[in-house]
Amino acid sequence: MSTAAALAAVLCLGPLAVPALAKDGTIYPDGRDGCAVAWSYGPGTSSTTVYYNNHCNRTIRLRLTYEVLGPPSYPPNHVTVHCYIAAPKKTKDNKKVNFIVKGLDGKATDKKC
């Protein structure tokens, strides 16, 4: 396939050809005293892999936000849910979850993903 034909095929797909944008950031659970957790994720079509690098001397909970389909009588028919994954101290790793992550922060939650 020529380059022009490949480009035309991608342009015809429009929004379907554009992958979801990856998100990244840093959480400073104790202020900016050297304790930080760098994180990133790129939502897939049915799951998300969250990457983290915990520089702290303790386990940090990363709160994930996602949506589930609510009952038909519940407008707008989506319910926001929060759960956490644990980032062990001084660890660089990743965790795959079976939902599409909409947000990540360091706020407390009791429900484990």
Reported as a single tens digit per residue, the pLDDT across 31-60 is: 777 799 999 998 888 899 999 999 999 999
Reported as a single tens digit per residue, the pLDDT across 89-104 is: 999 999 999 999 999 9
Residues 55, 34 contacting (CB under 8 angstroms)? yes
Strands (E), the chain: 23-27, 37-43, 48-54, 60-69, 78-87, 91-97, 103-105
Strand partners, 25: 39
Cα 18 to chain centroid distance, Å, stands at 18
Number of alpha carbons in the 13 Å side-chain half-sphere of residue 61: 13
What is residue 13's DSSP assignment?
A: H
